[in-house]
Amino acid sequence: MGSLSSRVLRRGGGRAVQERGSEAGSAAGPGGGGASRGSACYCRGGRKRKRSSGAFCYCELGSDDEEEEDDEGDEQERLLNTPRRKKLKSTSKYIYQTLFLNGENSDIKICALGEEWSLHKIYLCQSGYFSSMFSGSWKESSMNTIELEIPDQNIDVEALQVAFGSLYRDDVLIKPSRVIAILAAACMLQLVP
């Protein structure tokens, strides 16, 4: 191997092209070939551009259009090879979907009106009804399945679904036609402040 050195070659027009390495002296210009592989161009705007052929870029040979095409190709190549991070759900949506709708890792089942919900005591304790049920010496505090008696005729399965779901999410949209049923369920579960 030869010694490492740097040379600056001056071409017509006062532009400087820098070569590194022992084969630096072999480049004789546009037709001179023999430049070392991996050579770079220090032209136009001081940006370093590596040439795939290994030859130097002599600024007089390239045009602005060619440089723009190279830049677009480089940008496109970068975008195509960039790994994309999977978009994650927000925490609230994830909790609602995974814990409430899917019932993953539930520690209690609530049965009412012929329906069963796989829920979590920690979320149910937000409700005054369940908080007192689980914290006292009630028999339900140690049960894995609780059967709720629904005394109000206005409460239906959909209203209970919304009321239980509200414990797992930030916002709840209520249709005007459902207000009475959902409010009745929320009052029974002591969700209303």
CB 123 within 8 A of CB 108: no
Same domain, yes or no, for 34 and 64? yes
Environment class of 74 (CB within 10 Å of its CB; exposed 0-12, middle 13-18, buried 19+):
exposed
CB 157 within 8 A of CB 164: no
pLDDT in tens, 51-60: 555 555 555 4
Of 81, 110, 128, which residue is a domain's last?
Answer: 81
Highest mean pLDDT pick, 9-13, 34-38, 42-46, 110-114: 110-114
Residues in Cβ contact with 54 at an 8 Å cutoff, skipping those fewer than 6 apart: 35, 36, 37, 38, 39
Same domain, yes or no, for 15 and 97? no
- Average pLDDT taken over every residue of the chain: 75
pLDDT at 8: 52
pLDDT in tens, 144-176: 999 999 999 999 999 999 999 999 998 899 999
What is the tally of structural domains in the chain? 2
In angstroms, the CA 108 to CA 4 distance is 74
**CA 87 from centre of chain:** 3
Domain-located, residue 86? no
